[in-house]
Structure 1
Amino acid sequence: MEKFVAATNVKVNNHIPDDLAFFILSKLFVKSLYRFGCVRKAWTLLFENPQFMIMYRNYFLYNNHSYYDGASILLNHCLVPLTGEPGELLHSTLYLLFSDKFENRVKLDWPPPFHEDDRCIHILRFVCVNGTLCLTQGRGRYAKCVFWNPTTGEFKVIPPSLFEYVPYHDTMKNFHGFGYDHVRDDYKVIRQLDFFLDCYAYVPCDEPVGFTLMWEIYSLRSNSWRKHDVDTPFCSSYDEVYMDGFCHWSGIDDYHSLSKVGPCLVSFDLCNEVFLTTPFPSDMVDYCDILRLVLLNGSIAIIIYDESTTFHIRILGELGVKESWANVFIVKPLPCVQHPIGVGEKGDIFLRKNDDELVWYDMSTRTIEELGVKGSQGCCTIVVYKDNLLPL
C-alpha cells in the first residue's frame, strides 16, 4: 500500500522534447498535423518552423506511397508536322520511360481506333486507373473516347450518348474525369455537354434554340451514358488528378455559379456521384492562371509558378477545408525553365524549358536532368503508369 501511495505522488513529466515530437509528427499526413494543433499551441505553427519542415520534407520525399510501387512513366508527346502548314494538327506519340534517370525509352503503338489518325490524342486528365487509360480525341461531333490497357492491348470504344444530338445545334464534349467506382466495380467517365446553334442550319421559327449545358456519366458496366442532374455546374482548368475514387480538377473559370465559391478545387465522388469544393487560399487566388494540379507522392498538391521560375508547392490536408492547404515546398529559381508538365512517382517534377527541351527536377537531390526530347508548346503530358493484366 505504501509503495502504491509513493508511486502516485511521483511527479509525472509530461514534457516531450521538440526533437522527439518533430520526429513523430513529421511522419503524419497534413490532415493529422492540423488536428494536432489543438494538443499544443506551438504545433499550430509547425509549417512555419524551419527545423520541423526539414524533417517533414525529407520524410515526405523518401517515404514513397504504395501507389507508385512498380510504376513507370508514360510521355504523351505531340509532334509538330514537318510541313508546318497553318492549321495542321499535332501527331501524338506515346513513350514508356523507365530506369532511374528515364534514359530508356520505348515507343508504344496506339490502339486500333487511332491507327489511321493519331492527331491530338489525349490521355484524359493524365490519369492511369488500374492500368487503364482513357484516351480522347477531339471534342466536337466526331470526338472519340476509348478505354485502353497498354499492357494487355485490350480496348473499348465508348459509344455516343443519346443526349449529344440536338437538332440545329453543334455539341462540344468536355471530358472532365475518369476513374473507378470501387463500390460497384465500375469504370466511369464524367463529362459536360455544351450546345451551340449551328450557324449554317435553317431553324424554323417555332423550334427551341436555347439549350443549357448538361452533365452526363458513362458506366462501363452498362456501356451507356446517363444524364446527371447537378445544381452547380463547374468549369475546369486543363489538369485533373484521380485518387481513391475521386476525380479532382481546378475550378478556375467562374462564368457559371463558381462565382459563389470562387477559385477552388472541384472534386467528384465517383461512388456517390456528388461534387465537393475546396476553396483555394486567398493568397493563391491571384495565381490561379499559373498553377498546376498534381498528385505528389499520394497527396493532392498545387504547383504555383510565376515568371521568376520559383515554384511553390502546396499540399491539401482535407477535402472541403480551405485552411488545410499547407505550403510545404519552395523550389528556388530554375534557369531557363518555363513551366511544369507533370509529376513522376518519386516527386520528380517534369518541366519544359524555354527552348522546348523537356527536363526533370529531382526534389531530393535538387538536380536537373534532360530527357533528350523536345516538346511542342502545351502538348506534352506525363502519366504515372502501372501494369495490370486484369481485363476491363
Structure 2
Amino acid sequence: MEKFVVATNVKVSNHIPDDLAFFILSKLSIKSLYRFGCVRKAWTLLFENPQFMIMYRNYFLYNNHSYYDGASILLSHCLVPSGEPGEQNELLYSTLYLLSGDRFENRVKLDWPPPFHEDDSFIDILSSVCVNGTLCLTQGSNLDAKCVFWNPTTDEFKVIPPSPFEYIRYHDTMKTFHGFGYDHVKDDYKVIRRLDFFVDSQVDQPYEADEPYEADVGFPSMWEIYSLRSNSWRKLDVDMPFCSRYDGVYMDGFCHWSGEDDYLSLSKVGPCLVSFDLCNEVFLTTPLPSDMVDDCDILRMVLLNGSIAFIIYDESTTFHIRILGELGVKESWANVFIVKPLPCAQHLIGVGEKGGIFLRKNDDELVWYDMSTQTIEELGVKISRGYCNIVVYKDSLLPIVGL
C-alpha cells in the first residue's frame, strides 16, 4: 500500500498550555514532580505556584488511598482514675474505642486481650498501624515489659517471648519498642526494639577471680528484631541514630521514626527520618531541612493518604504539612498544606482518611478537621490530656501466623 505525505506550511506547536500541563502534573507523585523539573525551568517552581497547588491539594485529598478502603478508626488514650490530685498511687489506664461511620457516629468500647486484664496501664499500639488485621500492643520497658500480637476481630492473641539478650547479670535492661510491620518477602511479622543496659546500683556485685569485672561499667546498647515465623529474637548489627519512641509509623514494608544524632551514635546525620527495611533489615536516613526543625514547637510524623508526612505546628496552632517525595532525598520534602490557626484546637491527635486531622480542643473534646472542606466537627468524645493515639483499622479474619 502506498503512503502519501501531504505538504503543509502550518507549523506544529509543541507548547502545552499551562492549565493542561498543571492538570496532568497535579496527578503525579511528589517524587515524579521533582524529576519532571528538569523538563522545563518553570516546573522546578511548581510548589511555589498558587494555581498549581490548589489543583494538587484537591487531587491529593480526593484521590483517597486504598489504605483507607473499608477502614474504621481505633482511638486509644490514657486516663487518670478519679481521686485526689497528686496521689502517689495514680496510674494511667488505657482505653480503646472503635469509631466508624461517615462522621464516626458509631463508637464501641473494646476490651484489651487477656494479657492486659490485670494491668491496663499505658498500653501502646506500636507503629500506629494495623497489618492484615493484627495490632502489636506493648507495655512497659523494664523487666515486666509485654509485647502482644492481637487481632481484635477474631480476638486471637500471641504473647511475644522474652529475648535471650535482655538479661545481663547485675544490670537493669531498658527495652524500647520501636517498630512493628510486615516482611512481604518472607511472609513474616517483625518487631524492632532497642536494649539499653544500666548497672543496677541496688544489687551487691561480688568480685570473682575468674571473671573480669569493672564496677559501674554498662554494656553498649543494641538493636534486636523479633520474627513471628521463628518465634525468636536475634541481634541486629546496625548503628541507627537515636530514634523517638513515640513518633513512628509503618508503611509498605518500612518502619519509620524521627531520628536525631546522639553522642553514642556513629551516624552523624542530625535531625532526620530513620527508615528500616523489614525485608532486607537495613536502615537509611533522610535528613530534614533546617526550616522543618528551626523555630517549630512540635514536629509530628503521620501517614497522609499513603505518604510520609510531618505536621509542624506552633503555639498559634498553624499547621504546616510537609510530605516526603523520595526516601533518602533531603530536597524532596514538599510543603503541601498550610492550615490556618484553629483557635479551638489545642493538641494534634492523629490523621484519618482524606487528610482529616483529629484534634483535642481546649475543653478536651475530640474534633475532626476536614482539610478538603476546611470545617471542624465535634465528635462528642472526651479524651485525656495524656497520651492519645489514632490507628486506621480494617477488620480481618486472617489468623495470626505462628499461633
Structure 2 length-normalised TM:
0.93
Counterpart contact for 2:240–2:267, Cα < 8 Å: no
- Runs of 4+ off more than 4 Å: none
Counterpart contact for 2:150–2:156, Cα < 8 Å: yes
- 1:327 aligns to what? 335
Write the distance in 2 (CA, Å) between the matches of 1:308 and 1:251: 26
- 2:75 aligns to what? 75
Shift in Å, 1:122 = 0.9
Q: Match for 1:319: what amino acid?
A: L
* Residue 166 (structure 2) aligned to one of 147, 164, 167: 164
Does 2:352 correspond to 1:350? no
- 1:62 aligns to what? 62
Q: Secondary structure at the match of 1:125?
A: helix
- 2:48 aligns to what? 48
Write the distance in 1 (CA, Å) between the matches of 2:82 and 2:316: 33
- 1:35 aligns to what? 35
Q: Which stretch of the first structure deviates more once superposed, 77-86 or 215-224?
A: 77-86
Counterpart contact for 1:30–1:316, Cα < 8 Å: yes
Counterpart contact for 1:237–1:252, Cα < 8 Å: no
Deviation per CA, 1:43-90: give whole Å up to 9, x if none. Answer: 000000000000000010011011111111000021211124235221
* Residue 247 (structure 2) aligned to one of 229, 236, 239: 239
Write the distance in 1 (CA, Å) between the matches of 2:380 and 2:264: 42
Q: Match for 2:95: what amino acid?
A: T
- Alpha-carbon spacing, 1:95–1:232, altered in 2? closer, same or farther (3 Å): closer
Q: Secondary structure at the match of 1:389?
A: coil
Counterpart contact for 2:176–2:245, Cα < 8 Å: no
Write the distance in 2 (CA, Å) between the matches of 1:46 and 1:77: 40
Write the distance in 2 (CA, Å) between the matches of 1:144 and 1:318: 35
- 1:381 aligns to what? 389
* Residue 213 (structure 2) aligned to one of 207, 215, 218: 207
Structure 1 length-normalised TM:
0.96
- Alpha-carbon spacing, 1:81–1:182, altered in 2? closer, same or farther (3 Å): same
* Residue 275 (structure 2) aligned to one of 240, 253, 267: 267
Shift in Å, 1:252 = 3.5
Write the distance in 1 (CA, Å) between the matches of 2:187 and 2:242: 26
Counterpart contact for 2:178–2:245, Cα < 8 Å: no
Write the distance in 2 (CA, Å) between the matches of 1:287 and 1:230: 32
- 1:6 aligns to what? 7
Write the distance in 1 (CA, Å) between the matches of 2:398 and 2:3: 68
Q: Secondary structure at the match of 1:190?
A: strand
- 2:305 aligns to what? 297
- Alpha-carbon spacing, 1:349–1:258, altered in 2? closer, same or farther (3 Å): farther
Q: Secondary structure at the match of 2:54?
A: helix
Write the distance in 2 (CA, Å) between the matches of 1:2 and 1:376: 77
Structure 1: gaps of 5 or more residues:
none
- 2:15 aligns to what? 15
Counterpart contact for 1:94–1:107, Cα < 8 Å: yes
* Residue 316 (structure 1) aligned to one of 315, 320, 324: 324
